[in-house]
């Protein structure tokens, strides 16, 4: 046979464009004999506008309507070519309308034997037509269609009297379509006509399926699906039910997840509640833009599972001493304390009551100074015993609380804070002593030294206490006064044992305010990712402005939510802060500050071409410029929104680890480049906070000078110091404290 003969039986493709006539032999459609295919250039939309004819859209529509994994894109492309050919031959060069295109799609699918796909396309087309009618307000036409659908229920009719609906409390009732509509109006804000329509669609679906036992959860799912079909995703989000899938719940309850392993029923209950609150926060408290930024790793919201709490608070022991203990709602529980023992007991009671209102930390500010009026006549032995009881009680509280409890911090001071210079002290029985708190400095200093000594001794087997964390405020007087060693000695001894202690430096003797107060939320910015996206130092600065603006938006949304929690006053969830029995005014949203923190500054500099291989001084200068830009952006947004946005350093290792983990997937190239610069790392790892270099150096002062330049631009920050070998000597630690205070701008040190 001649090589050409094997193709002789194929029908001729005369007059057809390449690739368009391959279905002619199979379609047998009634084309006019004289019609020659004309190229299609336009398609007419329903509003009369014309747009370019695109076969790809036809193919995508076929795949979407078919909804079958067996329906390949190649097959859809071939069918789209057949549709185009059909339109070319039948319209004689006229642009088709959208409905003519859909008619052609269904006709081609039927003639080619794809009956299920043709039916699916028709149903998809009907749904879209129904949505258009809804948007045009034509409810009666759609309701008529639904009545027809309901009439198409199983043969013999549907017995609605037999349908039972069980709610989330286990109560069973009769079927009532009107209750679905009322719930949609109440929860989703739909117009009543539209709610009636969705309820009728759900009813028709139930009748067609023959379901007789319903739950409100299933009804929500059915209604939600109908809302999505009508393009009402916002309404669906407002009415959907939050929760944990049954599979995940089963694994949590059985201790089969990393979080619930080695836990107990209280642990699993907390994990399930956390999941619910986390989902609510992302769906309802924060906007989609903020939620997506958190989920993708541009920023971190701390912490979502505690969205109904404040982030941190600095509290005043004098309020408890003045008013005694009152329970939630203002119910009196105990009168003001008369003795040191009752002071400690009520102090711990207040700590337990306030703890559930905070997520990160609770600080008792100036604790030694405000307790001093009760202790001034104690002997050294009794003072040591009071200190021992205080440490052990707070340590025991930390061990027995839930994992979601905030960290306990005791802030001790050597001098009277300037803001408290004229403050009158509260003594036994809640009575004002008539003396300023500064008069009790000798007793306050004795208590501070005793607390540090007990902490340095450690607990059983001399193991250091994890809590309470002690913050010691140091100013020039403690270094200039010979008696300062009464505090510095025990402080250095505690730091040398690896105990939980931080030194905070107060270099402004005329300051009229103290850092702390109430922090409603912390938003942490992912500096390495910002550097990856920017590609240059200049681009990073612009990116920081955008991130701070987004963080401010998150704070606005948290502030609005907190205001809603405060509406109920002392009977609401934040009632202990909203009441006035702590000695101050009731908490208002205007009293709250919102932190904008950063982490991964070291890796940020590693990722920028200007600083990746620069010397330490150049990197420090650029770090200071980055923090200056951050501070400027925070001030700008604070003026715009009318509440404080203090910049801070986030030293939480979990936040840094989360960013590194997410960036490994989103930016594998830049992260791999960072790992090449630090071969000692086995995987992606970011340095927490604003640290510029490893804290394992034996002579940390030069490093602290460089890091201090960035501290000067923040509200709160501490630099890490790891003590090894001779560096654990108390004299060496005292010298380091003195030199860091006088020669750097570091705001504080934390010891490891």
Q: Residue 466, exposed/middle/buried by CB under 10 A (0-12, 13-18, 19+)? A: middle
Residues 6+ apart with CB under 8 A from 155: none
CA atoms of 729 and 710, how far apart (whole Å): 28
pLDDT, average across residues 559-582: 83
742 confidence band (pLDDT: 50, 70, 90): very high
27 confidence band (pLDDT: 50, 70, 90): very low
Order the strands of the 213-215 sheet from edge to edge: 172-174, 164-166, 213-215
CA atoms of 131 and 142, how far apart (whole Å): 9
Question: How much is the pLDDT for 633?
Answer: 98
Question: CA angle 290-293-299, nearest 5°?
Answer: 105
CB 304 within 8 A of CB 294: yes
pLDDT, average across residues 275-286: 92
Question: How much is the pLDDT for 168?
Answer: 62
381-416: pLDDT as tens digits: 999 999 999 999 999 998 888 677 899 999 999 999
pLDDT, average across residues 721-731: 88
CA atoms of 225 and 202, how far apart (whole Å): 9
pLDDT, average across residues 480-506: 95
**At residue 130, does pLDDT exceed 80?**
no
pLDDT, average across residues 186-201: 84
Q: What phi, psi does 84 have (nearest 5°)? A: -60, -40
Question: How much is the pLDDT for 559?
Answer: 97
Task: Pick the range with the lowest mean pLDDT from 136-145, 285-294, 395-404, 697-706.
Answer: 136-145
657 confidence band (pLDDT: 50, 70, 90): very high
Question: How much is the pLDDT for 511?
Answer: 52
Residues 6+ apart with CB under 8 A from 611: 537, 605, 618, 619, 622
16 confidence band (pLDDT: 50, 70, 90): very low
Name the nearest CA neighbour of 447 among 343, 517, 353: 343
Question: CA angle 525-273-689, nearest 5°?
Answer: 20
CB 149 within 8 A of CB 204: yes
For residues 310 and 567, the model is more confident at 310
CA atoms of 512 and 34, how far apart (whole Å): 95
Task: Specify the pTM.
Answer: 0.75
CA atoms of 402 and 352, how far apart (whole Å): 11
CA atoms of 581 and 322, how far apart (whole Å): 9
CB 409 within 8 A of CB 363: yes
Question: How much is the pLDDT for 597?
Answer: 98
Helix count (H) and strand count (E) of the chain?
29, 20
Half-sphere exposure of 655 (CA within 13 A, CB side): 26
61 confidence band (pLDDT: 50, 70, 90): confident
Please give the helix or strand (H or E) that residue 5 lies within, else none.
none
339 confidence band (pLDDT: 50, 70, 90): very high
pLDDT, average across residues 228-251: 76
Question: How much is the pLDDT for 4?
Answer: 40
**Cβ-count burial 475-512 (b if 16+ within 10 Å, e if not):** beebbeeeebbbbbbbbbbbbbbebbbbbbbbeeeeee
CA atoms of 309 and 520, how far apart (whole Å): 8
669-720: pLDDT as tens digits: 999 999 888 877 777 889 999 999 887 766 799 999 999 999 999 988 999 9
**At residue 213, does pLDDT exceed 90?**
no
CA atoms of 564 and 213, how far apart (whole Å): 38
- Measured CA distances, 7 to 10, 12, 14, 43 (Å): 6, 10, 15, 37
**At residue 30, does pLDDT exceed 70?**
no
587-597: pLDDT as tens digits: 888 889 999 99
For 721, the 3-state DSSP assignment is strand
- For 303-333, give the DSSP string: TGGGTTSEEEEEE-HHHHHHH-EE-TTS-EE
**At residue 21, does pLDDT exceed 50?**
no
Half-sphere exposure of 676 (CA within 13 A, CB side): 9
**Cβ-count burial 271-292 (b if 16+ within 10 Å, e if not):** bbebbebbbebbeebbeeebbe
226 confidence band (pLDDT: 50, 70, 90): confident
Q: What is the mean pLDDT of the chain?
A: 85
Question: How much is the pLDDT for 17?
Answer: 38
Per the document, the length of the chain is 752
Task: Pick the range with the lowest mean pLDDT from 126-130, 261-265, 299-303.
Answer: 126-130
CA atoms of 277 and 698, how far apart (whole Å): 45
**Cβ-count burial 424-457 (b if 16+ within 10 Å, e if not):** ebbbbebeeeeeebbbbbebbbbbbbbbbbbbbb
5 confidence band (pLDDT: 50, 70, 90): very low
CB 452 within 8 A of CB 487: yes
For 17, the 3-state DSSP assignment is coil
Question: How much is the pLDDT for 157?
Answer: 63
pLDDT, average across residues 515-539: 92
For residues 441 and 577, the model is more confident at 441
9 confidence band (pLDDT: 50, 70, 90): very low
CB 406 within 8 A of CB 467: no
290 confidence band (pLDDT: 50, 70, 90): very high
Question: How much is the pLDDT for 10?
Answer: 36
**Which range, 167-181, 313-327, 503-517, 725-739, is most confident?**
725-739
Whether the link from the prior residue into 56 is cis, omega within 30° of 0, is: no
pLDDT, average across residues 550-565: 97
CB 707 within 8 A of CB 626: no
Name the nearest CA neighbour of 335 among 327, 325, 344, 343: 325
Question: How much is the pLDDT for 31?
Answer: 52
Task: Pick the range with the lowest mean pLDDT from 216-220, 476-480, 631-635, 718-722.
Answer: 216-220
Q: Within 10 Å of residue 189's Cβ, how many Cβ atoms?
A: 12
- Measured CA distances, 319 to 346, 574, 677 (Å): 11, 17, 53
Question: How much is the pLDDT for 22?
Answer: 39
Q: Within 10 Å of residue 53's Cβ, how many Cβ atoms?
A: 18
For residues 698 and 222, the model is more confident at 222
Task: Pick the range with the lowest mean pLDDT from 294-308, 514-528, 533-547, 649-663.
Answer: 514-528
- Measured CA distances, 685 to 422, 667, 688 (Å): 48, 13, 9
Question: How much is the pLDDT for 158?
Answer: 74
DSSP β-bridge partners for residue 470: 410, 501
Question: How much is the pLDDT for 684?
Answer: 84
For residues 623 and 242, the model is more confident at 623
73-104: pLDDT as tens digits: 888 888 888 888 888 888 877 889 988 988 88
**At residue 510, does pLDDT exceed 60?**
no
**At residue 460, does pLDDT exceed 80?**
no
In percent, the amount of the chain with pLDDT more than 70 equals: 86
For residues 522 and 324, the model is more confident at 522
8 confidence band (pLDDT: 50, 70, 90): very low
């Amino acid at each position: 046979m001649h090589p050409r003969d094997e193709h002789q039986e194929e029908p001729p493709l005369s007059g057809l464009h390449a690739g368009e006539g391959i279905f002619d032999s199979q379609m047998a459609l009634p084309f006019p004999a004289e019609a020659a295919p004309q190229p299609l250039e336009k398609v007419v939309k329903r509003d009369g506008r014309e747009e370019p004819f695109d076969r790809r859209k036809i193919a995508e529509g076929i795949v979407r309507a078919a909804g079958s994994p067996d329906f390949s894109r190649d097959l859809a492309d071939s069918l789209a070519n057949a549709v185009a050919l059909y339109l070319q031959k039948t319209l004689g060069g006229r642009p088709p309308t959208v409905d003519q295109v859909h008619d052609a799609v269904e006709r081609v699918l039927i003639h080619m034997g794809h009956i299920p796909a043709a039916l699916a396309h028709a149903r998809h087309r009907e749904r879209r037509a129904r949505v258009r009618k809804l948007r045009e307000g034509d409810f009666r036409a759609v309701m008529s269609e639904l009545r027809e659908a309901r009439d198409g229920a199983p043969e013999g009719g549907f017995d609605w009297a037999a349908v039972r609906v069980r709610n989330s409390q286990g109560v069973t009732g009769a079927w009532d379509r009107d209750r679905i509509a009322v719930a949609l109006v109440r929860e989703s804000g739909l117009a009543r006509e539209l709610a009636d329509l969705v309820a009728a669609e759900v009813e028709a679906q139930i009748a067609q399926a023959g379901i007789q036992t319903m739950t409100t959860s299933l009804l929500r799912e059915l209604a939600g699906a109908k809302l999505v079909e009508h393009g009402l995703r916002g309404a669906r989000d407002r009415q959907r039910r939050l929760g944990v899938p049954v599979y995940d719940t089963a694994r949590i309850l059985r201790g089969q997840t990393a979080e619930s392993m080695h836990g107990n029923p209280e642990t699993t209950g907390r994990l399930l509640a956390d999941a619910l609150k986390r989902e609510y926060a992302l769906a309802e408290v924060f906007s989609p833009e903020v939620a997506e930024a958190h989920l993708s790793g541009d920023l971190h919201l701390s912490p979502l599972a505690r969205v109904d709490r404040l982030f941190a608070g600095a509290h005043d022991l004098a309020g408890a001493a003045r008013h005694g203990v009152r329970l939630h709602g203002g119910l009196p529980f105990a009168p003001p304390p008369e003795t040191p023992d009752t002071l400690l007991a009520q102090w711990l009671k207040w700590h337990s009551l306030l703890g559930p209102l905070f997520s990160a930390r609770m600080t008792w500010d100036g604790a030694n100074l405000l307790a001093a009026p009760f202790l001034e006549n104690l002997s050294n032995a009794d003072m040591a015993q009071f200190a021992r009881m205080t440490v052990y009680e707070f340590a025991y509280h930390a061990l027995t609380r839930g994992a979601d409890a905030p960290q306990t911090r005791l802030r001790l001071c050597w001098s009277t804070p300037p803001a408290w210079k004229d403050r009158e002290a509260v003594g036994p029985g809640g009575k004002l002593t008539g003396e300023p708190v500064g008069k009790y400095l000798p007793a306050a200093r004795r208590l501070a030294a005793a607390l540090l000594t007990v902490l340095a001794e450690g607990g059983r087997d001399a193991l250091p206490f994890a809590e309470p964390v002690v913050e010691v405020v140091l100013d020039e007087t403690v270094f200039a006064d010979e008696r300062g060693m009464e505090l510095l000695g025990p402080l250095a001894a505690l730091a040398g044992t690896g105990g939980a202690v931080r030194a905070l430096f107060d270099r402004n003797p005329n300051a009229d305010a103290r850092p702390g107060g109430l922090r409603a939320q912390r938003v942490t910015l992912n500096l390495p990712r910002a550097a990856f996206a920017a590609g240059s130092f200049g681009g990073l600065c612009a990116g920081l402005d955008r991130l701070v603006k987004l963080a401010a938006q998150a704070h606005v949304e948290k502030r609005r939510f907190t205001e809603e929690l405060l509406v109920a006053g002392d009977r609401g969830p934040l009632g202990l802060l909203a009441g006035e029995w702590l000695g101050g005014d009731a908490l208002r949203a205007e009293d709250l500050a919102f932190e904008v923190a950063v982490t991964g500054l070291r890796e940020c500099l590693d990722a920028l071409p200007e600083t990746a291989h620069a010397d330490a001084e150049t990197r420090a200068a650029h770090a200071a410029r980055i923090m200056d830009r951050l501070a400027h952006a925070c001030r700008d947004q604070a003026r715009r929104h009318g509440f404080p946005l203090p910049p801070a350093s986030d030293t939480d290792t979990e936040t840094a680890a989360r960013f590194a983990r997410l960036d490994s997937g989103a930016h594998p190239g830049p992260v791999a480049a960072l790992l090449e610069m630090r071969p000692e790392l086995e995987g992606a790892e970011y340095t927490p906070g604003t640290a510029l270099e490893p804290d394992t150096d034996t002579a940390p002062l030069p490093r602290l000078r460089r890091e201090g330049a960035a501290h000067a631009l923040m509200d709160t920050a501490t630099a890490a110091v790891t003590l090894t070998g001779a560096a654990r000597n108390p004299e060496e630690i005292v010298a380091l404290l003195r030199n860091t205070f006088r020669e750097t701008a570091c705001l504080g040190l934390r010891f490891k």
